[in-house]
Structure 1
Amino acid sequence: MIRKAFVMKVYPDKHEEYEQKHRDIWPELVTALRHHGAKNYSIFLDPSTSMLFAYVEIENEKTWEQLAQTEVNQKWWRYMEPLMETNSDNSPVTVNLNEVFHMD
């Protein structure tokens, strides 16, 4: 299992909408995430900075990266684009974090 962590940024006035959209996450997106090896996926919000911290466990980097090309993922990015900082392809701007400590 590969542990991944990264940060993103939601716009300050979009916290509630961001949370609501994740409460109502599309079942087909959850299926795609699982199909691409994602397990134990969480996103946390620091309201004081609007920073999102995401943690996911994946089986394989290549399989995980292929998720970005799926139709449902592309649709989700377009759906979320008004709420957060994004790249020109609507993907969220992310900063990957390096693991420095882990305890089971």
Structure 2
Amino acid sequence: MSWLAPVHPPSEPKAQPSPSSSVSQAQPQPQPQPQSQPEDARRIHQIVRLNPQDYAAYKECHAKVWPEVVAQIRASNIADYSIAYDRDTSLLFASFKYTGRDFEADMAKMRAHEPTRRWWAMTDAFQQSVNPGAVSSEKAGTVGEDGKKVPGWWKECEELFYLP
């Protein structure tokens, strides 16, 4: 899936002794190592348009995200999730890290979770997808009547730069 950008833990530079120093120096203290991530961990970026008149309601509901939805997001191997808003374009920008091994299976579990489906129905009503053919968050990734995969409600974006 080209829209999934690999997340690689930052590599720590190794301390090198100074070539001009002939005097024995104390050994440098070991640096803490970053937590390892699965090799297939991905950062995912998405956009959708927010109806400007729904800004206050959208912001308010995200200040009080339902605990069942938060639990399901975490159970679906999604972490470091944020949504930003650009008032000039009315675009919402989502970014998160997927740390699981089977994205499609984890998204199917999310679609099967009743509280998440109700959450999506509520929040989709505030939004307009910019993805041609998108139907809803719930239908994203499923097979439509025409036998084709239904596009995501949120449009996936390509990551062009990442500095860990």
TM-score normalized by the length of structure 1: 0.88
| Cα distance in 1 for residues equivalent to 2:86 and 2:78 | 23
CA distance in 2, matches of 1:14, 1:59: 32
Amino acid of the residue matched to residue 119 of structure 2? W
The farther-off stretch of 36-45 and 63-72 is 63-72
Aligned residue pairs total 103
Q: What's the CA shift for 1:68?
A: 2.5
Q: Secondary structure at the match of 2:59?
A: helix
User: Which of 71, 77, 80 is the aligned partner of 2:123?
Assistant: 80
Q: Residue 62 of structure 1 is aligned with which of 88, 104, 107?
A: 104
Task: List alignment gaps of at least 5 residues for structure 2.
Answer: 1-40, 138-151
What does residue 34 of structure 1 align with?
A: 74
- 1:15–1:47 contact (8 Å) kept in structure 2: no
Pick the aligned partner of 2:91 from 48, 51, 54: 51
Query: TM-score if structure 2 supplies the norm length?
Result: 0.58
Structure (1/2) with the larger strand percentage? 1
Runs of 4+ in 1 over 4 A off after TM superposition: none
For residues 82 and 101 of structure 1, the distance between their equivalents in structure 2, rounded to whole angstroms, comes to 32
Q: Which runs of 5+ in 1 are unaligned?
A: none
Higher relative contact order (CA 8 A, sep 6+): 1
